[in-house]
Amino acid sequence: MPAQRQILSHGFGPYYTPESRILILGSFPSVKSREQSFFYGHPRNRFWPVLAAVCREETPQSLEEKKAFLCRNKIALYDVIESCSIVGSSDSSIRDVVPADLRPILIGSRVENRIYTNGGKASALYQRYLLPVFRIPAVSLPSTSPANAARSLEQLIDAWAAALAPVLSK
């Protein structure tokens, strides 16, 4: 039986600390991420291996390791969408968007104007819903989703490193 359209809320909110210097935004949590109540929970999503390679660290595995990794590297995570209707984890099925409020992150961290989007859908949603509100341009990065088969892990690492390494090294 195919997955049914559901109206869902994000469910677990942003991750950031007062020291966070960059914000990476996805579109909306996948089914696996919603089950785990944390970002990029699908085992085939290449987010954690890509970010670990960019930061020259081991790939974090547990939730505690992921949070420690983000804290150490001053990275905040959230999604562009707070709630929507969606079928499974399909970005192409997203409808009825309620955008996320980034104010708590921007006020409670050192992100300032360093915002990055993970994939084309997150970028398009950011441009449509959040750029007009916050007026902070976001850098679009290629998607780490397993659905992005056009890019190899090495190509993703190179693209993400080119964008993030100068900011992460400060």
Domain regions of the chain by residue span: 5-168
pLDDT tens-place string over residues 55-74: 999 999 999 999 999 999 99
Task: Report d(CA 145, CA 116) in Å as an integer.
Answer: 15
CB atoms within 10 A of CB 106: 18
Rounded to two decimals, what is the model's pTM?
0.94
For the chain, count helices (H), then strands (E). Answer: 7, 7
pLDDT at 1: 60
The single-letter DSSP state of residue 128 is I
End-to-end CA distance of the chain: 50
Secondary structure (3-state) at 21? coil
pLDDT at 170 over 80: no
CATH topology of domain 5-168: Uracil-DNA Glycosylase, subunit E (3.40.470)
